[in-house]
Amino acid sequence: MAREVDILGYLPPILLEIKELKAIAGVENPILEKLWRMIDATLNNQFIITADENGIGRYEKMLGLQVSDSDTLETRIFRVLARYQEQAPYTYRTLKLILDSLLGTGNYTMERNVEEKWLTVKIELTVKRQFEVVEDTLERMVPQNMILTVELRFNQWSKIKLKTWGELLSKTWRDVKEEVL
């Protein structure tokens, strides 16, 4: 939506004959046309759908998205829109369903206190490889006014005491605490 700029159109007809003003207009017109293009680009880059390469690059940087050289502008716009869709407000029930699908039922415990605004998720050692993915997902899903704690649920004494000292002799205390028994 670049505009055609003509500075001479703003001058009264009597001044159109002055060659210095024509020269000034000849210099200013391209500068003002460039300025209009920049203003249009800035306006378009405020919205994901109309963003150009620079604008969508800003969104990707803010969201921490990785870009491949083979990605088209449409693909990049879709990826940014998908990320924004995922940040919808979630309910506690939906959060449980997502954790069940990521980790499996019973592979985590979740406690929350709505009045004190905190949520604690403890992940079982059997799924500790998914820890970072779960932590990133929860960071995006849990409201920012809640304190989120994600940690591994280490072996408890009730589980360790079922083993004999002979079975545990080859392990260090760290192994006993952090390995799946």
What confidence score (pLDDT) does residue 147 get? 95
35-38 long-range contacts (CB < 8 A, ≥24 apart) are: 36/2, 36/3, 36/5, 37/2
pLDDT category at 180 given cuts 50, 70, 90 is low
Which has the higher per-residue pLDDT, 99 or 39?
A: 39
Q: Is the pLDDT of residue 99 over 80?
A: yes
Query: Whole-prediction pTM value?
Result: 0.46
pLDDT above 70 as % of the chain: 82
3-47 pLDDT tens trace? 788 889 999 998 988 999 999 999 999 999 999 999 999 999 999
What confidence score (pLDDT) does residue 160 get? 60
Could you tell me which residues come within 8 angstroms of residue 141 by beta carbon, excluding any fewer than 6 positions away? 87, 90, 95, 98
What confidence score (pLDDT) does residue 104 get? 86
Q: Is 33 exposed, middle or buried (0-12, 13-18, 19+ CB in 10 A)?
A: middle
**What domains sit in the chain, N to C, each tagged with a CATH number?**
7-86 (no CATH), 92-178 (3.30.300)
Give the C-alpha separation, 70 to 9, whole Å: 46
Could you tell me which residues come within 8 angstroms of residue 159 by beta carbon, excluding any fewer than 6 positions away? 181
Q: Is the pLDDT of residue 118 over 60?
A: yes
